[in-house]
């Protein structure tokens, strides 16, 4: 859990690459609870947004969508991604 907090702190200070590296490892860790793993995936998607790496965002959202607890976050993220890519317009 310490590394999850560190990754969150790094992300909040716009050190997305350092955060991304930690979060990639945590997202597959079996040492985290399901809740912590979902939080790691949410932060991993955020690191992708900060780095303008839409492939990381898309891949992470797909992983989030596989969990009932992560589905809502993934839905919002996919909507934001579609608007950004111009595949859907809101309004």
Q: 1-26, pLDDT tens digit by residue?
A: 799 999 999 999 999 999 999 999 99
DSSP element (H, E) containing 35: helix 34-50
CA trace torsion 39, 45, 50, 51 (10° rounding): 130
Mean pLDDT of 25-37: 91
Region for residue 14 given its phi and psi (left: phi exceeds 0; alpha: psi -120 to 50; beta: otherwise): left
Q: 41-84, pLDDT tens digit by residue?
A: 999 999 999 999 999 999 999 999 999 999 999 999 999 999 88
Q: Evaluate if residue 89 carries a pLDDT over 70.
A: no
What is the token pair recorded at 54? 């839409």
pLDDT of residue 45: 96
Q: Evaluate if residue 91 carries a pLDDT over 70.
A: no
pTM of the model: 0.88
């Amino acid at each position: 859990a310490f590394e999850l907090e560190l990754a969150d702190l790094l992300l909040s200070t716009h050190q997305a690459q350092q955060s991304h590296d930690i979060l990639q490892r945590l997202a597959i860790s079996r040492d985290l609870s399901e809740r912590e793993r979902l939080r790691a995936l949410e932060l991993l998607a955020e690191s992708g947004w900060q780095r303008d790496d839409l492939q990381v965002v898309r891949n992470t959202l797909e992983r989030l969508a596989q969990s009932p607890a992560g589905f809502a976050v993934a839905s919002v993220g996919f909507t934001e991604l579609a608007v950004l890519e111009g595949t859907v317009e809101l309004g």
